[in-house]
A = this chain, B = another copy of it.
């Protein structure tokens, strides 16, 4: 994660003695303005929040995006996350989202903190690159987004059309709900179309990250077809 961190955002680096011994070249790569402090292995173990720390930590400036920035690309592909709670889910959604060409994520204020260490680790670096914003009122933001000509699709158990029967080549936003309770009513109501993901067997719902993955990659599949990629 430190290796992938955008250099201009790094404030300070801490390493364990053992790490410093083995990684001289890596440490020399950082510009002089970034202080690198060496801690004894035992102090480092106390500082880190993981059981088996890798021996390197850094402090980064947090990112800040505004809504206008997030939707300013030509054909935005957005995710609107409503009360997502599981750090692993959010991390996977960021990672898979970057891979699928998602241009930004909009999170309701009660979603898990994107700077939660578990989220950060499971993004595998995508947290540095994916524009995101927490909003006070996701339903209101959805209305604003629709006003910008972006179509909103809600994955919903009562959805009418299968997700692959709609077209996502133009500005698109997918609504993804909380793991246990799904989308809040006032948020789901803002969707232009409620879509469903067909399920066989006795499965009642999909994991939030799995549902998001299916939708994001369907959008990418359609957009790739257009580009003959």
Contacts and interface: CB of A to CB of B under 8 A. Distances in A.
Interface string A207-226: 10110011001101100100
B96 A207 contact: yes
B164 A124 contact: no
A82 interface: no
A199 interface: yes
Contact of A213 (B88, B213, B220): B213
Interface in A183-229: 197-207, 209-210, 213-214, 217-218, 220-221, 224, 229
Contacts of A122: 207
Interface stretch (A33-41, A50-58, A98-106, A143-151): A98-106
A220 B98 CA distance: 24
A224 to B, nearest CB: 6
A95 B220 CA distance: 23
B98 A201 contact: yes
Given A207-B92, A209-B210, A210-B209, A200 B162 contact: no
Given A207-B122, A214-B213, A217-B214, A201 B99 contact: yes
Contacts of A199: 99-100
A91 to B, nearest CB: 8
| Residue of A204, A217, A221 contacting most chain B CB atoms (<10 Å) | A217
Interface size class of A (residues with CB under 8 A): 35 or more
18 contacts: A92-B210, A99-B199, A99-B201, A101-B200, A101-B201, A122-B207, A124-B204, A129-B201, A129-B202, A164-B221, A197-B217, A198-B229, A200-B220, A209-B209, A210-B213, A214-B214, A214-B217, A218-B221
A65 to B, nearest CB: 16
Given A210-B213, A217-B214, A202 B125 contact: yes
A172 interface: no
A16 interface: no
B126 A203 contact: yes
Contacts of A101: 200-201
Contacts of A220: 198, 200
